[in-house]
Each structure stands twice: as structure tokens, then as C-alpha cells.
Structure 1
Amino acid sequence: MIIPVNGEEPGLPERLQQIRDAGDVPLVVDARWPEAHRSAVVAAATAAELPHGTAWATLTSGSSGAPRIVLRSAESWADSFAAVSEFLDAGPGDNVALPAPPASSLTLFSLAHSLSGGPRPMPRVTPDADALHGTPQSLRAVLDAGAPPRLRAALIGGSHLDPALRQRAEAAGIRVTAYYGAAELSFVACDEGDGLRPFPGVDLQIRHGDLWVRSAFIASGYAGAPGPLRRDGEWATVGDRAELIDGRLRLLGRADDAILSASATIVPEEVEAVLRSIPGVRDAIVFGLPREPVGALVSALLEFDGDASVDVRQLAAAQLAPAHRPRRWFAGEIPRTASGKPARAEAVRLVLAGEMQSLAA
């Protein structure tokens, strides 16, 4: 049985342990969700038939739509605990700060780790924090506030890590390991500053442009609505496009995020990488806006550093093919999921609702 747990309730680790000891499966929900959304997640969880050995139920980020409930065994997380402890440089006597909400798989993983002898979880960054497991946004917030003196390592996932942010952290004495993963696959690849390599214990393959993963960390399946996880024996994929070049993984985005505009197919991540390289641009998200008869207009929402003034159109045009250049530009705060991932579906909704500021020409 899946037992929903409010992520805000006191003593959350102890409550998770009680549920596990009773042979049930905890699912952490977020009290900030709209009631209709929370009710739908709880209904799907309580009606689910669980595969044998299910120990945890977690949620996808919902970056492209509604989150899904992912089921996994205890071993599918426990087998990566040793590698994570090494990246965090933290053991049972150390404190790991977890700024992302407990409903995110990123934080729930660390809570499970703590119950198996990992570092002690802290819901926020305090002077006692020895390590951080969070998103680029949480790392930036730590640095902006002044890094705690004991903070020595950060494990960062959820979205793109700006190289300048890594440099800031390292200058503050914090060793940074970024990683790529998915709720269904757990850890896939890690980057200690020289590019994404397979995470310890993970094998990677590219098949027809899709990334396939073989590891002990793969989830069992879903409760309720199905998702993108596909299997082929020991191998699995969630449909992410990628390349392997000299042992480094280059991500090209989820196939269903591709923008079809006229006769071209545009991969948002490729355009975003160019836009993030423009001085003054802190982050960028690229998406398609419906436009007949071409299919979609390539559009970009930019976050700037302070009051940076830069001609992004001209600089982007110098680096992007005509079909890949955004036709509509917006400025403002990028909407994100609870775990910190950019939320493309929400960005499109905000733009269509007229709630995003157009970038002046």
C-alpha cells in the first residue's frame, strides 16, 4: 500500500521509517499543490497495484506537464548510496542540506539515504551544513547569502549548471559535482568539471539518437498513468536525445520537447546553450508557441543578471542558423518545478496568458 505523507509535517524522516517498517510505501506530497492536483495524485497512488519489492514511490518533476508516480525498489536507490557519499564527502556524522521540497525525488532520495546510514538531512542551509544536495538555483542562493564555513561539497542536479556558477562555488571552497538523471533512471551521468561521464555503475548507449541506460538504479514502473520509461532487457530509456563524444555525454533534450517549425526540427537545449553563453544572460528556456501554418514559432524566455543590457538578438543571430533563432523573446523569471527544473509547459501557459513581458527590440 502507498501511504501519502505531507512533506511539511514535523519528523518527516522518522515518519518515512515508520511507513517502511510497516511494509508500506511512502509517497511525499506537497501541501502547496492545488487541492485538485493533490487529490488526483493521492487517488492514483492508493489505487495502484504495486510490483513485488516496491519500497518507494516518488514523482517526476512535471517539467513538461503533470507529474507521474514512479515506483522503485529499495535497492534501486541503495546501490548508489556509496558513490553519492563520496561525491558529497559526507557520512553519517555529517549534515547535508536539502533545500528542494521533500516531494521532489532529489530530496526524497537523500532522505532514504539518511535512513540507511547516510548524512543527516537538513531542510535548509545552516552554518552546520557540510554538504548540499540541490539544484543550481539552491547553490546560487547559498553563494548569494554567503556560503557556510563548513560547506565543502555540493551535488547539483535538476537542470543546467552554469559554468560561472561552478567557478563561484569552487572559489568559495566548495567541490561541485553536477549530474544528469531522471526520476525513472536515477543517476545517469556526473560532471566534476570536465564533462558528463557515466555515473559509477552505469552503462550508456546511443540508439538512433536516443540515450539508453543500463544500471541497478532503474525504477520498476509507474502507479496510475504510464510514462516515457521503456525497457529492452537490462536497458531502459525515457526518450532523451543525446550523443556520446570521447566518453562524454552531450544531452540534446527529450524527443517530445523538440519544436517543429516549418520544415525544421529544433532541439531547445541546443538553442538554450547558445543563449546562456551570451554575457549577462543568467538562464534561458526555449519553447514553441503555436503558429499556423508553420507549426510553431521558436520562442525564448531569458533571465538576466541584474540590469544587464545586451543585444541578445544580434548575438544569437551570429551563432544560430536562421531556423533556430527565436522569433519571440520574453524576459522574466523562468517558471520552475518544485525541484528546480525549468517548466516548459508552464512557460508556454504564461506567455499565452499574456503574463510574460516581451523583450523590447
Structure 2
Amino acid sequence: MCARCGGALPDGGRVSPRIVLLRGSTHGVVERLAEVRAAGNIPLIGDERWPAAQWEAVAALAAESAVPDGAAWAALTSGSSGTARILVRSEASWATSFSAVSTLLGDAESVALPAPPASSLTLFSLAHALTGRGPRPALDAESARTATAFHGTPQGLQSLLDAEAIPAVRTALVGGSHLDPALRARAEANGIRLTSYYGAAEASFIAIDRGDGLRAFPGVELDVRAGVLWVRSPYIALGYLGEGGPLRRDGEWVTVGDLAELSDDVLTLRGRSDGAILTASATVIPEEVEAALRGVPGIADAVVFDVPAPRIGALVAAVIEPEAADTPLTLTELREAAERSLAPAHRPRLWFSGVIPRTPSGKPARAETKRRALVGEVDRVTR
């Protein structure tokens, strides 16, 4: 629904002279994208699960914002750490990487895409398909069974492997969040050549890992300045509609604030600088704590965040998602696991347990996870 429209927002309803907002249904999505682009407009795909208020907010933002020259695609950032933003990019910023992506996917004829079209990850693959040179999108269960490639998040790959839903897949491109080494091993045991990647909605592909560490994606240059990763690349987006986000520029170089180390051309990520937790005299990077917690038997995933505390700045808190809901870890087990793998300042002082909410692409929704914990919608572990 859309109050500005006086009723249901029609599929393809125009919300600005150049932005066309589409419903996120997979049915006929390639054809709808082609129609919008053939008319010289810029498609923006929404998520069918959005409440009416969010449809209205996105439509209003697109209508009220000036679209930069050269914009050809619009996508919503994941919103994993806050409010979603509309990001616009040129045709070349994606098209320049299509050849390298085809090689990584083994020049597959079709690719399974479990994330919804509203995800920039899936929209990239749809844009590739529209050129006539990319693999055919497999957006439903039936077509996924014959797809020979996969592009999606680790969570999407694991779900499809669990369901034995992609028997023909032989190559996989996996990004969006942490890849468990056990999932890579499982994919390879199933005859799948897996390439994981690190990227950002603002910068597209940044680095890839074939199993020997993250190295610069073809055409990308990496530089770490004062612990912050900077990138020079032909794949950078034009910018945001409305209020800006984390993208910062220095000439041809850009950063989104990711902390990293670079040694012998191997990139090690340490999290986002704007997400660091200051507790007493220590700086805690949530992603580092999460990586340690994921290695604990019985924990499927974890999200770490700060809880303001007098005198020390903040407490470190964690929501853990148990591997089995009927056998959650006790407070003693969690504390002992943290003591074995984390320095004292990095150990969570508050523990919560439950299902971690996710963005449409499968990333943990950090802001929503924290909100649920703080308002009591996630169980506090007290014994």
C-alpha cells in the first residue's frame, strides 16, 4: 500500500522522473527490468515483505531525491547495521566485472539465486543476465535443480545443500557474510568449486578467496591506511539518494570504513570502524568476537553489540543462535567458551539466545538484533 498513491502501489509505478519502483516478485522480474530500462528509466526493486510504511518511505525518498547523471541501476543497501539507503550506480560499474564473474562461475548457463530480487547481490546477477552473456537466473526451486552455478550468501547455500535442492551446481560464488570453513569443505565434498568474496553495496566486488585467503578482485587495488581499507576500483557506485551513508572518497580511492590488514597481498578483515565498541580502555571489534563465538560447538551464529554503561562506556553483549533450539548453551558454558578464546575485555557480559533476524540477502540484521535483545524479544541467558 502507498498513502501517496491513494491505494496499492502498482507494479512499475513511477516514483520520480527516472526511478521506477517494482514489486519484488520473482515472477517475470527479468522482463520487468528489461521494460523499465528500455524506456530509459532506472529500476528499483522493493521487498514484498516490507510493511506499507516502508514502501511509502522508499517511494518518497526516490521521488524527492536528485538522481545523478549516468545512473543506470538503483538498489537498496542491506540495512544490516541501520536504515536502508538507496544506492545508484552507472551501467559500467557492474558491467565491467561481468567477464570476471562469468569466469568464476565457470561460464555456467544458469545460476541459482536464492536471495530475493531486492537484494543487490541478486540484482547484479539479473543485470548480468540482461546483457545476454550472463547465466540464466534460476529464481525458483524447479529451475534451481538444473542450475550449474550458485550466487548467494552462505546461509542461502547451506539451506539449499541441506534440502539437496541444487544437485547440478558445480561452481558457487558466495558473499554477503561470514563463510564457515566447514561450509566450504562441505560444498567441495559435493563437487562444487567455491569462491567466496568480500564486497560492499557501494563498491561491488572487492576481494575473492579461492581457499588461500582474500586477494584483490580483478581490476581492484587495495590500500590500508591507519587500519582502514581503501579501494581503487572501476566498480564504485555513484552515491546515495537522500542522506549519505558510509562511502567516503579521496580522489579515485574510496572507503566504507572497514578495518583491515594487508600482508603479502592477503586481506584480513577486522570489522567496521563505525561499529567498534569502546569498553573501559579497550576497543572491541564485534566481528572478531563473533568469529570466535562461531567456533564454539553448539553455536550456529552470533551478533555482538554494545550496551551503554556508566563509567566504562559500554558493555559487550551477544545474541547467539544455537545449532539446536532444544539444547541451548548455559550461561556457564558460554562464559567458559569466551574465556578460552577471548581476552577479558572482549568477553560478552550480557548473553541472549534466539534466532537471529536477517536481511533479504541473508546477512544478520544487526540493528534489529540489538533492538530485539534490548526490548526483551530475545531470551536473556541467566543460568
TM-score between the two structures when normalised by the length of structure 1 = 0.96
Corresponding residue number in structure 1 for 2:357? 335
Corresponding residue number in structure 1 for 2:255? 237
Corresponding residue number in structure 1 for 2:75? 58
Among candidates 150, 153, 158, match of residue 140 of structure 1: 158
Work out whether residues 70 and 222 of structure 1, in 8 Å CA contact, stay in contact via their aligned partners in 2.
yes
Are 1:111 and 2:126 counterparts? yes
Corresponding residue number in structure 1 for 2:3? none
Partners of 1:98 and 1:148 in 2: CA distance: 11
Residue type at the aligned position of 1:77: W
Partners of 1:272 and 1:174 in 2: CA distance: 27
Are 1:348 and 2:366 counterparts? no
Instruction: Find runs of 4+ consecutive structure 1 residues off by over 4 angstroms.
Output: none
Residue type at the aligned position of 1:119: P
TM-score between the two structures when normalised by the length of structure 2 = 0.90
Alpha-carbon distance, 1:108 to partner? 0.4
Partners of 2:27 and 2:355 in 1: CA distance: 31
Gaps of 5+ in 1: none
Are 1:272 and 2:294 counterparts? no
Which range moves more in the overlay, 210-219 or 280-289? 280-289
Work out whether residues 26 and 117 of structure 2, in 8 Å CA contact, stay in contact via their aligned partners in 1.
no
Corresponding residue number in structure 1 for 2:94? 77
C-alpha distance after superposition, 1:128-152 (max 9, x if no partner): 1111111111111011111533111
Gaps of 5+ in 2: 1-17
- What is the alpha-carbon root mean square deviation over aligned residues? 1.4
Are 1:216 and 2:271 counterparts? no
Alpha-carbon distance, 1:115 to partner? 0.3
Partners of 2:175 and 2:336 in 1: CA distance: 31
Work out whether residues 278 and 313 of structure 2, in 8 Å CA contact, stay in contact via their aligned partners in 1.
yes
Change (3 A) 1:24 1:283: same
Partners of 1:63 and 1:101 in 2: CA distance: 15
Are 1:316 and 2:334 counterparts? no
Which range moves more in the overlay, 63-72 or 119-128? 119-128
Q: Percent identity?
A: 59
Work out whether residues 78 and 360 of structure 2, in 8 Å CA contact, stay in contact via their aligned partners in 1.
yes
Q: Secondary structure at the match of 2:157?
A: helix
Q: Secondary structure at the match of 2:341?
A: coil
Q: How many residues align?
A: 359
Alpha-carbon distance, 1:236 to partner? 0.6
Among candidates 104, 107, 121, match of residue 137 of structure 2: 121
Which range moves more in the overlay, 158-167 or 138-147? 138-147
Among candidates 165, 168, 183, match of residue 183 of structure 2: 165
Which range moves more in the overlay, 295-304 or 18-27? 295-304
